[in-house]
Amino acid sequence: MSTAIVRVVCVVFHPGDELAAFVDSLPAASSRPVELVVVDNGTDQSVSGPVTARAGGRLVVTGANLGYGAAANRGAAGASAPWIVVANPDIVWTPGSLDVLLDVGATEPGVGALGPQVCNVDGTVYPSARELPSLTQGAGHAVFSRIWPTNPWTRAYHARQEQAGERRTAGWLSGSCLLLRRDAFEQVGGFDEGYFMFFEDIDLGERLGRAGWANLYVPQASVTHVGGASWRATPAPMIRAHHASARRYLFARYSRWYQAPVRAALAVGLAARERVQVHTSRRG
């Protein structure tokens, strides 16, 4: 049985140099025993295999592209460690950052998920801790955030991220780098595998909250998100996956019969935004 107190699960799909940067930065992130599991959704392990072996980790080959949440569940399965990290391969850990999260988690027994401050490569802070959207905010943000970034619904949705320097609870935390209490993660059944990619972290945060667990943003821990590694080669499929997940989440959240007009409006708006973004990506 592993003596690690945290299992780090990194989900990859035909990774590049970013995976080595992730693995190389991990030892300095924590002084505690860490178990590394790399879950490869791709068909070529020529990068993930050697990098994982060099780090003394375990490689899980899924045999098919299961999506982010399903692959993360495979990596977390059977863990004995009390904590699980789920992270993208294009994260670079700041020294001591994982220890900070673990220390806070140990003193907050009601917390099911903890998220660090996620910085972009230019030093700006990514809005990684957000509130669950209200009906109007969710609809407005989902439809207009990319084509009208300054719309009032998106501004309201992001408002609490302005408190970036404060530790605080959130409705959900970005799945790009997330520390999960294993008991809480298992209680809610892990990630909903119906989300191929995107929105699985929003859904998880909401279900943790409903089960009585808090989602805690801890900006004293910091990581850098290189970003875009999964988008660069095939942006159009990623755009379609994002919109499919948005429809799944919003339709489930507003599923009552009298909310049918809302679902219809969301369907039209999301379809229009998807067409615009796919067209723009092809031109680019």
- Show the domain range for 253: 235-283
pLDDT at 115: 98
User: Is 77 contained in some domain?
Assistant: yes
Q: CATH number, domain at 101?
A: 3.90.550.60
Going by C-beta distance under 8 Å and a sequence separation of 6 or more, which residues neighbour residue 180?
A: 76, 83, 84, 85, 86, 112, 113
Mean pLDDT of 257-266: 72
- Alpha-carbon distance of 183 to 225, in angstroms, equals 27
- Alpha-carbon distance of 6 to 3, in angstroms, equals 9
Cβ atoms of residues 172 and 130 within 8 Å: yes
Q: pLDDT tens for residues 218-251?
A: 999 999 998 754 455 556 766 666 667 677 777 6
Mean pLDDT of 140-167: 65
Q: pLDDT tens for residues 199-213?
A: 899 999 999 999 999
Q: Are residues 252 and 144 in the same domain?
A: no
| Last residue within a domain, chosen from 203, 225, 247 | 225
Q: Are residues 239 and 211 in the same domain?
A: no
Instruction: Considering only residues 99 and 281, tell me which one the structure prediction assigns the higher pLDDT.
Output: 99
70, 138, 139, 202 from 250: Cα distances, Å: 20, 8, 8, 11
User: Is 1 contained in some domain?
Assistant: no
Cβ atoms of residues 105 and 167 within 8 Å: no
Q: pLDDT tens for residues 43-78?
A: 999 999 999 999 999 999 999 999 999 999 999 999
Q: pLDDT tens for residues 70-90?
A: 999 999 999 999 999 999 999
pLDDT at 199: 86
Q: Are residues 195 and 266 in the same domain?
A: no
Q: Is the per-residue pLDDT at 278 higher than 90?
A: no
- Alpha-carbon distance of 73 to 86, in angstroms, equals 9
Phi and psi torsions of 213, nearest 5°: -95, 145
Q: Are residues 110 and 83 in the same domain?
A: yes
Q: Are residues 273 and 214 in the same domain?
A: no
* Number of compact structural domains in the chain: 2
Q: Which two tokens stand for residue 198?
A: 């995107």
Mean pLDDT of the residues in the chain: 85
Q: What is the pTM of this model?
A: 0.84
Q: Is the per-residue pLDDT at 147 higher than 80?
A: no
pLDDT at 270: 67
Phi-psi region of 51 (alpha: psi -120 to 50; beta: other; left: phi over 0): alpha
Q: Are residues 164 and 243 in the same domain?
A: no
Q: Are residues 156 and 259 in the same domain?
A: no
